[in-house]
Every structure is written in structure tokens, then in C-alpha cells.
Structure 1
Amino acid sequence: MCKDISKTFGSMVFSDVVMKEKLPKDIYKSLQQTMKTGSDLDINVANMVAIAMKDWALEKGATHYTHWFQPLTGITAEKHDSFISPQGDGRVIMEFSGKELIKGEPDASSFPSGGLRATFEARGYTAWDPTSYAFVKEGTLCIPTAFCSYNGEALDNKTPLLHSMETINDQALRILRLFGNTTANRVLSTVGPEQEYFLIDKKLYDQRKDLMFTGRTLFGAKPPKGQELEDHYFGALKTRVSAFMKELNEELWKLGVLAKTEHNEVAPAQHELAPIFTTTNIATDHNQLTMEMMKKVADRHGLACLLHEKPFDGVNGSGKHNNWSLSTDTGINLLEPGLSPHENSQFLLFFAAVIKAIDEYQDLMRITVASAGNDHRLGANEAPPAIVSIFVGDDLDCIFKSIDEGTKYDGMKQGTIEIGVHVLPNFIKDTTDRNRTSPFAFTGNKFEFRMPGSSQSISGPNVVINAIVAEELKKFADILENAEDFTAATNTLICKTLQDHRRIVFNGDGYSEEWQIEAKRRGLSNLRSTVDALPHFIDEKNIKLFTEHNIFTESEMHSRYEIMLESYSKILRIEALTMIEIAKKEIIPAVSRYVAKLCSTAVSVKDLGLDLQCAAEVSFINKLSKLNDEAYEYVNDLKETIDKTAQFHDDALALAVYYKESVIPAMDRLRAVADLMEENTCTEYWPHPTYGDLLFKI
């Protein structure tokens, strides 16, 4: 472990401190202007930055550089080039130019494009994102970039995110100017993504094809003990886990990732890491690095890190809590209520914009977390339901109620918690409780979006939040900029917005059946599955939103819709084929061997002439033989069901619907039988580690 964290932190990052030290003053100033305002980068500046960046990277042991980008696979991509440049006398020198810094040319035909690129159309470009710092990772200088096709279509997660940050900056500044704020030059969306994950023994992981191929267990009977005792949550860290977390922190700190909090989560073998807030594009980069480092560090400790949303049936799955807020470059949090939120009209206006945005774009909020993996998790009494709602807490709810009813708000008194033990101090309690069942909860000065899955990029959710809030701020600014009496118009706008969109506010139990009924009565959408949600992505209102704010073109939206549908079907196909292979090659033969052993034992006992019925053996033989026959039948049914997908080769939505309605039920039938066989098969015959092994042997 590093002795001096302050010196280690960011040591592998070409940060502002490093740039100020390495660059001439005029070059540094020009680069800062580009980073802060988004102005074009001069090639001469780029050349000087490239030389300094290369020299610094060489000092850190780098031999190669790569344009580090985020294609629509959900993970990052890299193509490494060395710094070497041949000389006429057979020697080499280390070179890196501004042109190489600014632009790269990876193959664009082998990444998901949703029809934007044909197989033969290979050229694509990566473009340096100077707002996100370069870093050295494993001997390579990594340069964060955007990724686009030869024709300029965005093929990545970063480009729309940067567009969304620009648009919310523009619209938020319009509002601030109306309130007389002339000092703020930028409004930044900020994020702190809490990352949940599982750690299991790598040797056990290597014995499970389902974990290796799909990231989750496709078979597995429940162990005698799960999370019922709630003894793992915040419990003392096991020795191997603690060692893993220490090294993970060190690696992340070197890369400038603000890893702050770590603890055991609810499910056995489940944990969480939470960082400090930073700007959204950097937070997105850092979260991708965090997931990558989790897997690499785990491997070095003989562990496997599982980032699937539901790796184990019957215990909690893993999410990614996206804590989102808005701040000015002068350090003001625009979602900070202050001591008198009912009198803080600027706060109330921004808050009203968020409420209106979430209500009007419930479908987009659900779509942004839609995946085959997350369908297992949402609404399973461990994560928010698929119904989108907002928790605001008692204090703000009372304010909204007084606005709605036109009554005076007297304010809630800040209470004191008295524990009752003299040696323990009393302390001021928060004005509101927390609600872990809410999809979108206000938690003091930020919103916690709890629906994203643990494996997904946070880019998608933040693109949507930025875009929809920017849209509402734009509408507000259009009204208020033309108002004769700004104060009166602002008060009227806040009141009307909160009255019109109060239906989206819900402070109760999101898991309850009563909420399902109440949400329907309120007219809230309930898009239960990915297949139900995705078609709404290309609804007319959503296309209008993204195209008008220059975040996506219409063709880019249709391409992403196709990619999301294809990904859903491909994931389920891989899972189904994996189930078939495991059942045919491992489970059914293993049970047959155990039945044969039982038969041999029964015959041997009877050959001894003893007056024994071998009731246990006979019972297991009958039960397991029938179950094995059922499993064989369900394997064939699943194979036939998969074979029928060929008829939908030209209709991505119909194929996804078929997987949901036909393939998943066939998979469930096979699993149910296999899990029953596991419960009745001798441990030494069962072909792979059980849930008890995976969750508790670490």
C-alpha cells in the first residue's frame, strides 16, 4: 500500500498540474481555453501538447499510446501504437505528433453500428477529448477520445454525452442570467456513480461455463443460507476482500479516480465502491476504468469480479447508483435547497424542471437502463421497480403540497436525535429520510438514479438526464425571458409545473402492490421489460428532443435502437446455448452416473441376500431418472426454440419479442428441473461448484 497517498493520487495522469509544469505558459493557457469553452484546438498547440505528453509518458514507463474510446459495446476499446520512429541509420527515436494526438483511425466496421456502417465500410475516426485527462495504464499512454464513422455519425457513448453536457450548460446559464448571476461561465452536470459487484474464488469461477460465457449462473439451487440474516451488509471485510480493495484503491488513485467508500453489500460475496463527485464525462471515464481495474485486480488476488446485474438467483443483484447534480464553475450547487427552500425560487425552478423532465420522459428514463441483465433485477425487492417516480422527502413534499393547495408553508423544524445514552452525543437529523425503493430520489443536493445496472456505462443515463432537464430549462427560459414581471412569472411557473407534474412524486414503498395500482391510476408508465421499453426510444417526441438539442441525429437514434434490440437477443442466445451445452455435457451425464451408482449399490445389497428394501436408493433412482428424462426433453425443446429464431432474421423487434416470450420460458423450464436434480444429487457427482461454494468460499 502506498505510504503517501497525496503524492500517489493522479501520479499516472497528465493532469492540470502536470500540464502547467510541462507546457509553455501560452500553450497551457490556449489549451485551458479549449477545455473550458470548447473552442477549436490550434494544431501548433496540439503539437506542443503531444511532445510534452509523450515525454511525460516515457518518464512513466510508457512505450505505446492508444486512443482510448467507448464504442457501443458497453466497454472500452484500445489500439496500441508505439512511439518509435525509424531513422536512416537503423536506429529509432520516440516521436508523437499533434496530428497523432488529435486523430486516430480504428476500424469502424467491426463495432456495433446499427446499420450506419456496412462491413466493407471500415474507416472510422477517434478524436481527442481534451476535457478528460490522458493517463498511463500498463505501459501505454491512454488518450480519451470520441469515436465516429467516416461520415461523422457517432459510434460511441462519449460523443452524445459531451453534446448533452453542452446543451444543459447553455440552458442552465440562460436561467442563471435571469436570476442576475453573471459570474458563472459554465454549468456542469456532475456525477458520483456507486458501483456494486460480487467477488468469488477464481478457481470456482473457472469451473462454471455459465459464469465464463454469460457473467451469471444459469443453473443453481439455493443454498441453506443466503442473505436472510442480513449479516453481510456493512460486515467486517474478509482478509482476501480487504487485500483486494486496498490494491484496487491504490490502482484507481494512481489514475486519478476518486475512490472514497467501500463496504460489504446486502448479498453474500457482494460489495460496493463509491467515488467522490466529478464532472459527468470524467466520471463516465473513471467508472469504465473502475470496472476494468476491478476485474484485473481481482484476478491478481485469485478472485473473479462479477459485474452482471443478477449473477445469482435468489439473492440481491447489483446496480449502479447514479448520483447526479448541477454545479457552476464558481462552486455553486444548483440543487442545494438552502435553509429555506420554500423561499429559494432559483432552487425551486431548477427542481421543478427536473420533476417535469422525469414525468414527461418516463419512457426514456426506463429505456436508459434497459438490458437483458437488468430485467432480472428491476422490481425484485432489491432494486427500484420499472415504474419511474421521484422521491423528494417530507420537507419538499410539504412545500409542494402547500403550493398545490395554495396554502401557507410554515416550514419544518430541524429536529434533534436523542439516542438516550448520556455518553453518546445528540445530533441534528436530516429534514428527510432516504428511500431505497425509489428509482429517482432527491438526497439533499443531488438526485440518486438507482435503476442503472452494474455492468452498464453511465453515459446513457446521463445523456438522457442532461437532455430532458435541458429541454425543460429551455422552455422555462423562453417564457421568463419575455416576462414583464420576472418574479411573478417565476412564481407562477413554479406553481403550475409542480401542480401539473405532482403525479410523478411518490415517497412511499415502491415495492408494494398498492403502488402498482396507484401508479396505474396516476397514469404512470410501467414498462416491465427491455422489449416493452425499447420501441419508445424512437417515438416522435424523443426523436424531436435529441435532434433539436444536437445530441443524436435521427439515423443515430434508429441505429442505437437496432443495437439495443440486437444486444438483447444476442445475450439471450448465448445464455440459451450455454444452458444447452452445460445440461447435455455436464448435468445430465453427471446425474446418470449417480443413478448408475445407486443402481449398482442396490443390486449389490440385494445380492447379499439381506432383507433390505434399499428404499433410499430406489427413491433417488426413480426421482432422478424422471427428472433426467425431463431435463433431456427440455434441452431438446430449448434447442428447437432457438432454431426457430432464424425466421426473424430481418426483424430485430420481432426477434427480441420471441426471445422474451418463447426462449426465456424454455430456459426457465430447463433450469427448474436441473436445480431440482442438484438438490437430490450427491455432492461428489455434481459437475460444478454450487451456490454455497460460490457465495461463501472466499
Structure 2
Amino acid sequence: MSKDKVTEEYGSLVFTDQDMQERLPKPTYKELRRVIDEGKELNLDIANEVAHAMKDWALEHGATHFTHWFQPLTGITSEKHDSFINPNGDGTVLMAFSGKELVQGEPDASSFPSGGLRATFEARGYTVWDPMSPAFIKDEVLCIPTAFISYTGEALDKKTPLLRSEVALEKQAKRVLGLFGKKPKRVYTTIGPEQEYFIITEDDYKARPDLVLTGRTLFGAEPAKGQELEEHYFGTIRPSVNAFMKEVDDELWKLAVPLKTKHNEVAPCQHEFAPIFEKGSLAIDDNLLTMEKLKLLATHHGFACLEHEKPFEYVNGSGKHNNWSVSADSENLLEPGDDPQDNLQFLVFLAFLVAAVDDHADLLRASVASAGNDHRLGANEAPPAIISVFLGDALTPIVDALIKKEQPEAHDRARMDLGVPALPNVLRDNTDRNRTSPFAFTGNKFEFRMCGSQQNLSDPNVVLNTAVAEQCERFVSYIGEHSDEDFTTAAMRFVRHTFRDHERILFDGNGYSEDWEKEAERRGLPNLKSTPDAIPSIVKPENIAFFEKYGVLSEAETRARYVAKAEQYAKLLNIEANTMVNMARTMYLPAISAYAGDLATSVATRAEIGVDAAADKATVKALSEGSAAILAATDELEAANAKARELDDVAAEDNAYRDEVLPLMDKLRAAVDAMETVTSKDYWPVPSYNDMLFYV
């Protein structure tokens, strides 16, 4: 797509504000903008006019159907397509779309995860138009972003709690800003999700049942080469992969997804896309679109896109960094300015974030917990499971001084002379990056680095938004209790006390070190290493009350999310265990047996003519012993998996999978991988790591 074509086609498949202005009567457009900008209630007359204009626009762009595009508790998106046709009774049809169809749909709610909110026989559910995310066209279908609720009004999706948390944060942040003499029209979060993924050939993908069924390789010996030469990161992109990336850019730009950056990541075959920041819920919608397009468009180029957190052992897995900030109208409230030590508003909001993360570290950890992410967190490629906050070189001395009741000093940005006259001096940032920190300040935003590459980012942002709302309310109450004091004096004391009370969460060092794990334990920081360790915190009484207080989740909705997460963990590991058993019995054991048999025949033939075959005899023996080990490990795994599935309690089932099934999966993998290293490549039934990671 040429430069002019980019600007011409950018957002061409989105029903933009410009389209609304051109197609709607002025009073209707103004009323719709009030709905979008001020959260006013939408009446059906306005919805009818919007639906008519939206339908005409969609038909002009080749759409024949519409769908309510929603995000059930699976974490991915769902859609049911309905055509615009409306029979006239004379054999002709009228293309019609009503306000009622725009505003509300009725998909079957019983076949989606509900965590017990809905029984199978209680099938009715509703999708409800979210006018804050624009409609768009995908595959000749008009997609209308929606919330998804049950017949009785409970949230059955990821979006509804996210929107509620944004409302809660906006309400409380406006109260804070009012104390600073400001009255912004809107307060909103901004998010920039960095999406990591792997690209391998489609032929290799299809030849691996584990990749097809689970998204990761359950077997595979260590490749001869991994990422130790560190030449892949930011390296030259393969031409074939670059062509794929270009199509992703082109197609997502048409959908107004502001992709900005693309590059090779650390591991071989690993890559990343990153967008420009957008408003919170829209950014998450666009990230879900990005994930969908990555998978679809990869097939156009003979590739498969792997979005699992750990598709390959021995090399880095994939994350999704959640870059988060909060703005009032156009002002970034986490912008330190030239003199952050004198920027009271910034210091107040910085204190909010530090306290929010400390108070709700357990919920933040639970929000990113999954079977896939458990393989990644804590390894030397991702943050540890311990939540901490990194502030960096510029802010740490300021916070330390405040805690000690000393006068903070500014730290000017240093210029670095590179010693080459032709090269300009570099203005160093106020803070370095700490890639081992789960929650790091990076100039004018925080980067939550624990999120998994395939997860819906609504979960962590629901926690973060609500936690900051809580701190905003705490500040307003504090100032109210000290109304007889000068505002600046009271606010600075609040900041100082907040940093002092939550100093334990601040850590600027190496999050991978064993010393930090010991130090974190001494500080009383939670270290929830696995999903079964982390997700029970969701249903702690204080956390249920926390979500209820701000209208984000009811007790029933909170408990349902715990059950849904727990069930998903067990179901995923059950699929992985079943896949391993099937592959071991139908692929690996026959292949090893065939090779051992042919080798034994060769040994016997050579023995008849008196040729020594000691090396081959040793190999046949190793293969026979290895086959026996695989068979025994397969039987053990199958039995443990069956036993875990029989448990009725979701917590007990998750614990059984973590403590009993996973170790046996590792045992079976080790047995099979050992045989891969001694079996002829011609007999091995699946592509190896060497094949998949280093294609031409």
C-alpha cells in the first residue's frame, strides 16, 4: 500500500465519526456524540437513524450481513451473522436494519462459559451495543462491538466489567481533579498492547497434532541452536515474513488499528507488533482484532501464527505488555513534566498506582493466570510471579526523599557525548527499562509485563482501573478529613504516607535473582507461582467486596469468573494430557519400534556374515528401553488424568492437575525427547525443533 493509499484507506472499513457526520442529521449526530462522549442514555429513535445510516454505509462497502461482535469468558471474540434481507412477500427483498437490531441481539448463552451463572437449560442471553467502539466491516460482515449479558443481567463477557471499571475510575478521578480546580469532560485510560507471536510454516504446524490441538509443542528435543547468539532480536526480517507483516499492516490499517512497530523478537521465529496508544476498551477491541488477523493472514503466506505463551521449550515465550496510563481530556495524568518533584498532581497519581498495585497484587497476578502463562512467568524471559513496581532512576530518589521527609531534588536528563563529531549528542531518558519488573514506570505510563500473549487484556485492566478508583476515593476522603488544612500540605502528606506505607512493593533490582525471592518473602509480598495458587484470591471476601463497592462485578459475577478460570485451566491440561497420550501411542512408539526393528534386522544380517555391529546393538537396546519407559509413562499419565477429571470440586481438580498430572506430562515428554535424539530423522513422525525454528 503506497503512502497516499495508506492515508486514503486508513479506517475505510470503520464507521468513523466522519461517516456519522456525513450520514446523520445534525441533531441525531450531536445526540449520538453526547452518548459517546458523556455517557448519556441512547433512545430508540436515535438508534433507528444510526442503524439506517450504518446499514447504507455497510452495503456500499459490500457487506451483506451484520453481527454483534462480543467477548465471552473464553477470552476470544464471538459472532453470529444475520443478513440484512427482509422479504417483501412478492419474491423480492428489502435490505433493512433497525435500531432494535443494532442495540440488542440474542445469542444462545448456554454454550459459553458462565462459571455457573447460567444453567444449560437457561439459554437466553443478550448482546448490547457499545457505541464507544466503532462498528467495522470484516469479511463482508458489519461487526457491531457489544457487551454480553445473561437473561437476568449478569455479565457473561470480558467487556462489561471493563466498561464498568472505566466508569468507576472516571467518576473517582474527576473528584480528585476537582480538588485541583479542574473539571474535565472525560477521564479515560489509554492502553498500548505489545503483541508477541511466533510464525512457522503451515506444513510443520499441520504435522504436529500438539500444535493444532493445544497451541504448543508438548514434545521436542532441544535444538542444536536456540537464541544464544542473540542475532534474531531486531534482526533483518525474512522476506516471506515481511510480506505477511505488510498484509497485516494493510488490513488492520483499514480497520483503523494504529499499528506502529513491527520487529523480530528474541527467539527464532518470534515477532512483535505494537500499536499507538488508544482509549482503553477500544485498544483491547483492536488487540483482539489484531490477534484474529494474525492467525488468518498467516495462512495466506503458507504460515501458521502461534499466539500461545510458550509454544516451544528452550527459547523465550510470548507476552503481551499492557502499557497503561490515564488522561483527563487530553492531559496525561502520569506525565511527570520537567520537575516531577514539584508536580503535585503527578505525585498524587503516582502514589495511587503504587498503592493500587500493592493492595491488589494478588488480583493482578490472578488476572494474568493461565495454564499457558504458567510456563512463562518466572523464567529468564518474563517477569517473576512476584508483583513489584519499578520507578527508575529519576523517580526513585524523589520517592525516597519524600519517605524520609527530605526535600526531593530534580534529576535533569543527561546528554551523552558519543565521541564522534558527526553523531549528535543523545538526550538520555529519565529512567532505564527493567525487563524483569512486572510493573514498571516507563516515562509517562506504566507497563504491566506479566500478561500472556493470547489473553484478553480486559482482565488485568478491570483490576487496575478499579484499584486506582479506590485510591482516588481514598485521597478525596483524606482531603475531606483535613479540610481545615492547606490543600498542598495535606496532599503532600498523603503522598508521603502512601509511599511510606507501600514502600515494600518498590523494587528496582533484578527480579530474576534468588535473593529477590527471599527479600520479597521477607517483605510479605505474595509469590503465587501457578494458576491454582493465584486464582483463589479472586473470591477472597475482601476482593468480592472490592468489586461490588465500585459496581464492577457482583458477588455472583466474581465467583463465576473464578469458576470459569479454574475450569479452563483443568480443561486445557486435560486436552494436553490426552494429546500426549495419543501422540505417544499412535506416533512415537510405532516410529521407534519401526526404527528399532529395522536396525535389529540389520544387526542380525551383519552378524551372519561376521560383521561387528556393537554400536547398532547398543542403539537397539536404548530404543527398546526407551519404548518401555514411554509406555509406562503414558499409562501413568492416562490414569492420573482420568483420576483428576473425576473430581467435582474445581479447586481440587486444578490442584490435581498441577501436582499430579503436570509432573507426569513432564516425565512422558522427557522419555520421548530422549528417543528423538537416537532415532533416525527419517523415522521420526513429526518436524523437530531444528526443522520448525530454522526454516528458510
Q: TM above 0.5, one fold?
A: yes
The 5 Å alignment of 1:73-222 reads 73-182=74-183, 184-222=184-222
**Correspondence 1:422-441 to 2 at 5 A:** 422-441=421-440
Give 1:269-348 correspondences, 5 Å limit. Answer: 269-329=269-329, 331-348=330-347
Partner of 1:392: 391
**CA distance in structure 1 between the partners assigned to 2:129 and 2:117 by the alignment:** 22
* Cα deviation 1:121-140 (Å, max 9, x = unaligned): 11000000000000000000
SS of 1:514's equivalent in the other structure is: helix
Residue number in structure 2 paired with 1:17: 18
Q: Could you tell me how far apart the structure 2 residues matched to 1:495 and 1:419 are?
A: 39
| Cross-structure match for 1:578 | 579
**SS in structure 2 of the partner of residue 121 of structure 1:** coil
CA contact 1:2–1:8 (8 Å) conserved in 2: no
- 2:340–2:410 Cα contact (<8 Å) kept: no
CA distance in 2, matches of 1:570, 1:655: 10
**Corresponding residue for residue 448 of structure 2:** 449
1:521-578 CA distances to partner (integer Å, 9 max, x unpaired)?
A: 1111100100001111111111111001000000001111100000000000000000
d(CA) in 1 for partners of 2:409, 2:280 = 37
**Residue 2 of structure 1: how far off its partner (Å):** 4.6
CA distance in 1: counterparts of 2:78 and 2:391, whole angstroms: 39
The amino acid of 2:197's aligned partner reads Y
The answer (yes or no) to whether the contact 1:310–1:317 under 8 Å persists in 2 is: yes
Asked if 1:662 corresponds to 2:660, the answer is yes
For residues 592 and 214 of structure 2, the distance between their equivalents in structure 1, rounded to whole angstroms, comes to 24
- Stretch of structure 1 that moved more, 517-526 or 214-223: 517-526
Determine the structure 2 residue equivalent to 1:521: 522
Contact 2:210 2:217 in 1 (8 A): yes
Write out per-residue CA displacement over residues 360-410 of structure 1, whole angstroms, 9 at most, x where no aligned residue. 111001000000000000010100000000000011110011111122223
In structure 2, C-alpha distance between the alignment counterparts of 1:282 and 1:484, rounded to whole Å: 42
- Following the alignment from structure 1 to structure 2, what is the Cα–Cα distance between the partners of residues 593 and 88? 67
Secondary structure of 2:157's match? coil
Counterpart for residue 458 of structure 1: 457
* Distance in 1 of aligned mates of 2:2 and 2:29: 31
2:535 corresponds in structure 1 to 534
Counterpart code for 2:62: G
Matches within 5 A, 1:17-36: 17-36=18-37
Separation of aligned partners in 2, 1:428 and 1:231: 27
Q: Secondary structure of 2:188's partner? A: strand
Q: Is the 8 A contact 2:341 2:409 kept in 1?
A: no
- The within-5 A match list for 1:502-651 is 502-608=503-609, 610=610, 612-648=611-647, 650-651=648-649
Q: Distance in 2 between matches of 1:642 and 1:374?
A: 21
Does the Cα contact within 8 Å between 1:252 and 1:290 map onto a contact in 2? yes
Identity %: 54
- Give the letter for the 1:673 counterpart: A
Deviation at 1:20, TM superposition (A): 0.7
CA displacement, residues 234-271 of structure 1 (integer Å, 9 cap, x when unaligned): 00000111000000000100011010000000000000
Confirm or deny: 8 A CA contact 1:263 1:272 kept in the other structure.
Answer: yes
Q: Is the 8 A contact 1:358 1:468 kept in 2?
A: yes
Q: Does 1:381 align with 2:384?
A: no
Bigger CA drift: 401-410 or 293-302? 401-410
Q: What TM-score do the two structures reach when normalised by structure 2? A: 0.99
Q: Which of 670, 676, 679 is the matching residue for 1:678?
A: 676
Q: Does the residue aligned with 1:378 lie in a helix, a strand or coil?
A: coil
534-543 or 304-313, which moves further after superposition?
534-543
Matched letter for residue 293 of structure 1: K
How far, CA to CA, are the matches of 2:480 and 2:694 in structure 1? 61
Give 3-state SS (helix, strand or coil) of 2:677's partner. helix
Stretch moving more, 424-433 or 378-387: 424-433
Is the CA contact (8 Å cut-off) linking 1:194 and 1:321 kept in structure 2? yes
1:354 corresponding residue in structure 2:
353
1:693 is matched with: 691
Structure 2 letter corresponding to 1:443: T
1:481, distance to aligned residue in structure 2 (A): 3.4
Deviation of residue 77 (structure 1)? 0.4
Q: What is the distance in 2 between the residues matched to 1:40 and 1:400?
A: 43
User: Gapped runs of 5+ residues in structure 2?
Assistant: none
Question: Does the Cα contact within 8 Å between 2:67 and 2:141 map onto a contact in 1?
Answer: yes
3-state SS of 1:582 partner? helix
> Aligned-pair distance for 1:7?
1.0
> Quick one: which amino acid aligns to residue 214 of structure 1?
T
Q: Separation in 2 of the partners of 1:23 and 1:260?
A: 32
Shift of 1:272: 0.3
In the alignment, does 2:247 pair up with 1:247?
yes
Shift of 1:478: 1.5
The alpha carbon displacement at 1:687 in A equals 0.3
**Distance change >3 Å, CA 646–CA 290, structure 1 → 2:** closer
**Residue 453 (structure 1) shift:** 0.2
Structure 2 residue identity aligned to 1:247:
E
Look up the equivalent residue of 1:693 and give its one-letter code.
D
Question: Is 1:230–2:230 an aligned residue pair?
Answer: yes
1:488-507 matched pairs, under 5 angstroms: 488-507=489-508
Indicate conservation of the 8 Å contact 1:200/1:303, yes or no.
Answer: yes
Aligned to 2:267: 267
State the alpha-carbon separation in 1 of the partners of residues 608 and 215 from structure 2.
48
Query: Residues of 2 paired with 1:395 and 1:82: CA distance?
Result: 57
Number of aligned residues: 693
Counterpart amino acid of 1:252? L
- For residues 469-528 of structure 1, give each alpha carbon's deviation from its aligned partner in whole angstroms, at most 9, with x where no partner exists: 110111111121342221111011011001111110100000111111111111111001
Q: Matched residues in 2 for 1:190 and 1:429: separation?
A: 25
Q: Which runs of 5+ in 1 are unaligned?
A: none
Bigger mean CA deviation after superposition, 378-387 or 423-432: 423-432
- Per-residue CA deviation, residues 4-28 of structure 1 (Å, 9 max, x unaligned), is 2111110000011111111110000
Aligned to 1:232, the other structure's residue is in SS state coil
Q: CA separation of 1:513/1:440 partners in 2, compared to 1, >3 Å: closer, same or farther?
A: same
Q: Secondary structure at the match of 1:144?
A: strand
CA contact (8 A) 2:637 2:664 kept: yes
Contact 1:178 1:481 in 2 (8 A): no
Contact 1:364 1:464 in 2 (8 A): yes
- Distance in structure 1 (CA, Å) of the matches to 2:281 and 2:54: 21
Instruction: Tell me which residue corresponds to 1:420.
Output: 419
2:43 aligns to what?
A: 42
Q: In structure 2, do the counterparts of structure 1 residues 7 and 481 end up closer, same or farther at CA, with 3 Å as the change threshold? A: farther
Distance in 2 between residues matched to 1:679 and 1:18, nearest whole Å: 61
Shift of 1:646: 4.1
The aligned amino acid for 1:354 is: L
Shift of 1:411: 2.1
- Amino acid in structure 2 at the alignment position of 1:661: D
One-letter amino acid matched to 1:681: T
